[in-house]
Amino acid sequence: MSDKNTQSAIAVDNVSKVYRLYDKPTDRLKEALGFTRKKKYHEHFALSGVSFDVRQGECVGIIGTNGSGKSTILKIITGVLNPTSGEVRVAGRISALLELGAGFNMEYSGLENIYLNGTMNGFSEEEIDRRLPDILDFADIGDYVHQPVKTYSSGMFVRLAFSVAINIDPEILIVDEALSVGDVFFQAKCYHKFEEFKKMGKTIMIVSHDLSSIAKYCDRVVLLNQGIKLGEGLPKDMIDDFKRVLVGQYELPESEQSLLNDAEVQEAVQAKAAAQKKARTDSTVNGLNMKTLEYGTKDAAIDEIYIEDDRGTRTNSIIKGMEFTIHMKVTFHSDLPAPIFAFSIKTAKGTEITGTNTMFEKAFLEPVKAGDRKEIAFTQKMSLQGGEYLISFGVTGYEGNDFKVYHRLYDALDVTVVSDKNTVGYYDMDSRVTVRGC
């Protein structure tokens, strides 16, 4: 948490943004022309009473599900949108990298857009000339800078846009998900620049679904959901709460409910909460692959799979270093001598990393009867590096000398490992390091 005596760079005070949504385009026209007195729209609160401060020199992340208001609040802070109510105060020059295309003319070349953006930010041509070598060096797009921006790939575009954003000497840098389209090397260069900015005392705000980057680079995190601020605090705590939101197990505090004065908004929030609770009755969780490859004799059926974190919350996001449990529930349709239950973990590219089964673990070597149902739980510490992984499940066994596959589910679950420290390779040795004179 930042020092309370540090000056505020961004102050968001009770900000709401309301949109009028019409069922039909003609309803909007009728209302605009005064042909009807009846209310033809319903109000949608993209933001409702959101307040937070960002201190100078802080790196603050904003996380939340799609439609939670993350991009809306950034657009209000940068002046792209006006709030319906509330106030935003900004102290310092802002440079923002919002959605791709913002602030760029697609018909102009990259070079022309550099001068266009620099002029829009108050720089003279001579000042842009001085910054041009740094911009071109960081963007590293070669002669493409002389081609129209409309011919760029999304990766080339974000290279140029980010390079312009960081080289106009901003006091506040705001980035909204745009870096996700860049290649991994460029992303690494950008995050290195974030570190430089932090050391220089500049303020950074990041919106991202990359929880590992949020955990690593942010000093503080604001959690939004359905336009409401659920909380703010240390990255680990907010990411933990976000995981509960993803599975509908986060109860909205009464203090936040009081922000909703509009009856329609309260009704909408309650309806969404009810839908989330209903979804929890299904055996699926976030990360389930609905088109998983499966096969087997079906003498046994894997009918439920899910992951729990160390608090017993169903989730597909696990913080590195914490314990987690992989669950599978199996129903048997035949008598079997000694079924083996297994899981394996691979990368998104298909490289098998690790896995185990009840035979290796000497955990279950018993016969089962038709109609039996078993729940198998594998509990372990998460030691994989931050990133995305796929989990496969299987129920197999030996009948005499014959190996039988009763049911297999390939790449059935996606798990995200959230980490603020990644070492080399897939697995963290969790080394203890000492350095001393000799």
Give the whole-angstrom CA distance, residue 265 versus residue 272.
11
Amino acid 259 reads L
Numbered ranges of CATH 2.70.50.60 in the chain: 293-418
The candidate with the shortest Cα–Cα distance to 97, out of 200, 187, 6, 222, is: 187
SS (H, E, C) 206-265: EECCCHHHHHHHCCEEEEEECCEEEEEECHHHHHHHHHHHHCCCCCCCHHHHCCCCCHHH
Query: Interior CA angle at 435 toward 432 and 438, to 5°?
Result: 140
Rg of the chain taking only CA atoms, in angstroms: 26
Tell me, yes or no, if the pTM score tops 0.85: no
Residue 300: both structure tokens together: 């046994």
pLDDT tens digits, the chain, 438 residues: what are they?
445 556 899 999 999 999 888 777 776 777 767 666 677 767 888 999 999 999 999 999 999 988 899 989 998 998 889 999 999 999 988 887 776 556 788 889 999 989 988 887 778 888 889 989 999 998 888 889 999 988 988 888 888 888 888 887 788 988 887 666 566 677 777 878 888 888 888 999 998 887 877 887 889 999 999 899 999 999 888 888 887 787 666 665 554 444 444 545 445 545 544 544 444 334 344 577 777 888 899 999 999 999 999 999 999 999 999 999 999 999 999 999 999 999 999 987 778 899 999 999 999 889 999 999 999 999 999 999 998 899 999 999 998 888 999 999 988 999 999 988 888 888 888 888 989 998
Residue 64, C-beta contacts closer than 8 angstroms, at least 6 positions apart: 70, 223, 224, 225, 242, 245
The answer to whether residues 244 and 253 touch, using CB atoms and an 8 Å cutoff, is no
Give the whole-angstrom CA distance, residue 152 versus residue 145.
9
SS (H, E, C) the chain: CCCCCCCEEEEEEEEEEEEEEECCHHHHHHHHCCCCCCCCEEEEEEEEEEEEEEECCCEEEEECCCCCCHHHHHHHHCCCCCCCEEEEEECCCEEEECCCCCCCCCCCEHHHHHHHHHHHCCCCHHHHHHHHHHHHHHHCCHHHHHCEHHHCCHHHHHHHHHHHHHCCCCCEEEEECHHHHCCHHHHHHHHHHHHHHHHCCCEEEEECCCHHHHHHHCCEEEEEECCEEEEEECHHHHHHHHHHHHCCCCCCCHHHHCCCCCHHHHHHHHHHHHHHHHHHCCCCCCCECCCCEEECCCCEEEEEEEEECCCCCECCEEECCCEEEEEEEEEECCCECCCEEEEEEEECCCCEEEEEECCCCCCCCCCECCCCEEEEEEEEECCECCEEEEEEEEEEEEECCEEEEEEEEEEEEEEEEECCCCCCCCECCCCCCCCCCC
Give the whole-angstrom CA distance, residue 246 versus residue 285.
9
Give the whole-angstrom CA distance, residue 244 versus residue 253.
14
Residue 172: both structure tokens together: 């506040």
pLDDT of residue 247: 64
Domain spanning 8-92+171-257, CATH architecture = 3-Layer(aba) Sandwich (3.40)
Distances (CA, A) of 251 to 126, 258, 286, 314: 55, 14, 18, 15
Classified by CATH at the fold level, domain 293-418 comes out as: Coagulation Factor XIII; Chain A, domain 1 (2.70.50)
Kindly report the length of the chain: 438
Q: Provide the 10 A C-beta neighbour count for residue 436.
A: 4
pLDDT of residue 178: 64
Numbered ranges of CATH 3.40.50.300 in the chain: 8-92+171-257
Residue 171: both structure tokens together: 């006091």
